[in-house]
Structure 1
Amino acid sequence: MSKKIAVINDLSGFGRCSLTAAIPTISVMGVQPCPLPTAVLSAQTGFPSYYCDDYTEKMEYFRQEWEKMGVQFDGIYTGFVASETQIRRIFRFLDTFYRESTFLLVDPVMGDEGRVYKLFTPELLRRMKELALRADVVTPNLTELCLLTGADYGELGRMKGEKEITEAAGELAEKLMESGPDTIVVTGIRFEDAQSGERMIGNLAVDQSGRRLSAFPYIGGSFSGTGDLFASIIAGGIARGDDIFRTMDLAGEFVERAMKDSAAEGVERNQGTNFEKYLGMLLPGR
């Protein structure tokens, strides 16, 4: 019987993010994604115009019906949430489906590059902290790690060297782990290579066994959905029983290839990356 992950995220028709990124990624890894939409959008919110159908009140119907079915999940993975009310719905979902054998991965989507997203509120942060502390694995970028730990992003943003920024990020991750999560994977850490001066971007995994950085040349710019792809691969790898450090390496390489391809083709950032052609990298046994 295949492993199952409940994926709580929005569904956007355009933008190659959220559920449209998570479903194929987790599926090709040999794991069944069971989507619970938080909202249905014509396009992700980076586009100048979009229609959004809020599913906050409908989330409870999914929980109730799945409870009637007696289903069990190997993992629960939460992404973008639009309000603190949705996080309360997620807590109710966890009360029903989170078991000792279930992992909870929280991707705390709140901001990037030192800026918070437009739906961000202090109450949403408070609730997101509560959710992150219940998680087994949290996948924040540097901005979100600072928000969760109360650190100053400006201080980290001024750091250029690999050693100083990974040391600072690692200490913040360990601080967050003291209150709950077993593993933190910090994404999108930018620095300059000490020898070549080349711009790099890396991901840092921290657990009880230590820290591990996986880095690649930074091509510049950003694309919609790369964080969703990364977190989805981490979730799929955990469900498969893969080593977290190897999974992080795989996720980083996958996202790097998709970004390079999209940059070479001149894809507009809101459209997301050309990740589909690289899904074979994620097949079990590769």
Structure 2
Amino acid sequence: MQLLSIQSHVAHGYVGNKAATFPLQMLGWNVDVLNTVNFSNHTGYGSVHGEVVAGDKLAEIYAGLCDINVQYDALLTGYIHGASSLAAVGQMCKAVKRSRPQCLWLLDPVMGDDGQIYVSEDVIPVYRQLVHSGLVDVITPNQLELELLLDFKITSRDDLRRALATLHTEHQIKHVVISSLFLSAQQLGLESKGCFYCCVSSKDADEPILFEIPKLDSYFTGVGDLFSALLLDRLFRLQDVVLATNQVQSVMSRVLAKTQRMCVERLGGTVQGKLGDATSMKECELRIVECRDLYHLEQTDFRAVQL
């Protein structure tokens, strides 16, 4: 199985391609990597050195892959900082999909989280064009990114249903997995508390479903990048987005628990990752290598609830 992963790179830590490549290799994928940035570390440390890779440089590398006729079974696209780079990546992915329609394209529209946008705002209209292309198979936005893609706020269950219907009918997206919703249980018509919600919807399914995921009292980076990589693998194998998401969330819960446990064991106390605090950010890096025995697990820990 051959995959092209187009997202960020950091010398230290685990986000972007650093979070995705090794787990995918452990699952049997041959991963070709295009790095959209080359940074010393992720931006949560408060200080970062390196460079953003321009769109023409990305296109040049991709041209080399075309020259040697690499054929891809899947595409994974994540953090891309500027509009020109995103447009170049979009052209690559469209070319792959048109030549190999069976290739699975998972687009993670990485734009922001917790109310904060951390890419150039000129990428938003480019993402909207890509989502509208009819070539994307699955997207994995969080709620903020979903709102940016559709240009309206989601404050209720009805808003969420409208957003999902728009993606399926107007944009022809087969599968939508909203990795994290910040709607409350009350807004979603649920009784649970102390959870966040993952929403899964398929174009051909009758009803979207929700998974209730217990919250961990810490801040981890790279979680969405690992989630999207594992989801692509499971969806490719299982062809069932609800089962795939349940398995991946179950793996993610174990990865985060192990990361947190190893941090406590090393320091003798709890560390809560805080943006801008280099010490806590370093301690809360995902233990990607140490969790290598978890990525293949097929447990389904979470109960699906209809939206």
TM-score category, normalised to shorter length: 0.7 to 0.9
Q: What secondary structure, in the 3-state scheme, does the structure 1 residue paired with 2:92 have? A: helix
Q: 1:114 to 1:260 in 2, by over 3 A?
A: same
TM-score (structure 2 length as normaliser): 0.81
Is the CA contact 2:217–2:272 (under 8 Å) kept in the aligned structure 1? no
Q: 1:87 to 1:255 in 2, by over 3 A?
A: same
**Corresponding position of 1:223:** 220
**Corresponding position of 2:12:** 14
Q: What number of residue pairs does the alignment pair up?
A: 272
Amino acid at match of 2:212: A
Deviates more, 1:179-188 or 1:217-226: 217-226
**Corresponding position of 2:58:** 59
Q: 1:115 to 1:50 in 2, by over 3 A?
A: closer
Q: What secondary structure, in the 3-state scheme, does the structure 2 residue paired with 1:280 have? A: coil
**Corresponding position of 1:237:** 234
**Corresponding position of 1:202:** 197
- The alignment-based identity, stated in percent, is 18
**Corresponding position of 2:287:** 274
Give the drift of 1:133.
2.6
Q: What secondary structure, in the 3-state scheme, does the structure 2 residue paired with 1:279 have? A: coil
Q: 1:82 to 1:281 in 2, by over 3 A?
A: same
Give the drift of 1:176.
1.7
Q: For 1:199 and 1:192, locate their aligned partners in 2 and report how far apart those are by CA, in whole Å.
A: 9
- Do residues 174 (structure 1) and 165 (structure 2) align? yes
Amino acid at match of 2:197: G
**Corresponding position of 1:188:** 180
TM-score (structure 1 length as normaliser): 0.86
Deviates more, 1:45-54 or 1:167-176: 167-176
Give the drift of 1:4.
1.2
Q: What secondary structure, in the 3-state scheme, does the structure 2 residue paired with 1:213 have? A: strand
Q: What secondary structure, in the 3-state scheme, does the structure 1 residue paired with 2:163 have? A: helix
Q: 1:35 to 1:65 in 2, by over 3 A?
A: same
Q: What secondary structure, in the 3-state scheme, does the structure 2 residue paired with 1:187 have? A: strand
Amino acid at match of 2:174: D
Q: For 2:123 and 2:191, locate their aligned partners in 1 and report how far apart those are by CA, in whole Å.
A: 41
Q: What secondary structure, in the 3-state scheme, does the structure 2 residue paired with 1:46 have? A: helix
Q: 1:168 to 1:280 in 2, by over 3 A?
A: farther
**Corresponding position of 2:148:** 147
Is the CA contact 1:87–1:131 (under 8 Å) kept in the aligned structure 2? no
Q: 1:189 to 1:203 in 2, by over 3 A?
A: same
Is the CA contact 1:15–1:43 (under 8 Å) kept in the aligned structure 2? yes
Deviates more, 1:143-152 or 1:55-64: 55-64
Q: 1:61 to 1:69 in 2, by over 3 A?
A: same
Q: For 1:22 and 1:260, locate their aligned partners in 2 and report how far apart those are by CA, in whole Å.
A: 18
Q: What secondary structure, in the 3-state scheme, does the structure 1 residue paired with 2:208 have? A: strand
Q: For 1:234 and 1:171, locate their aligned partners in 2 and report how far apart those are by CA, in whole Å.
A: 24
**Corresponding position of 2:109:** 108
Uncovered stretches (5+) of structure 2, i.e. residues with no partner:
265-270, 275-280, 300-307
Uncovered stretches (5+) of structure 1, i.e. residues with no partner:
157-163
Is the CA contact 1:67–1:96 (under 8 Å) kept in the aligned structure 2? no
After superposition, where does 1:19-38 map in structure 2 within 5 Å?
19-38=17-36
**Corresponding position of 1:87:** 86
Q: For 2:296 and 2:260, locate their aligned partners in 1 and report how far apart those are by CA, in whole Å.
A: 25
Q: 1:241 to 1:195 in 2, by over 3 A?
A: closer
**Corresponding position of 1:120:** 120
Q: For 2:149 and 2:130, locate their aligned partners in 1 and report how far apart those are by CA, in whole Å.
A: 11
Amino acid at match of 2:70: V
Q: 1:45 to 1:217 in 2, by over 3 A?
A: same
Q: 1:249 to 1:6 in 2, by over 3 A?
A: same
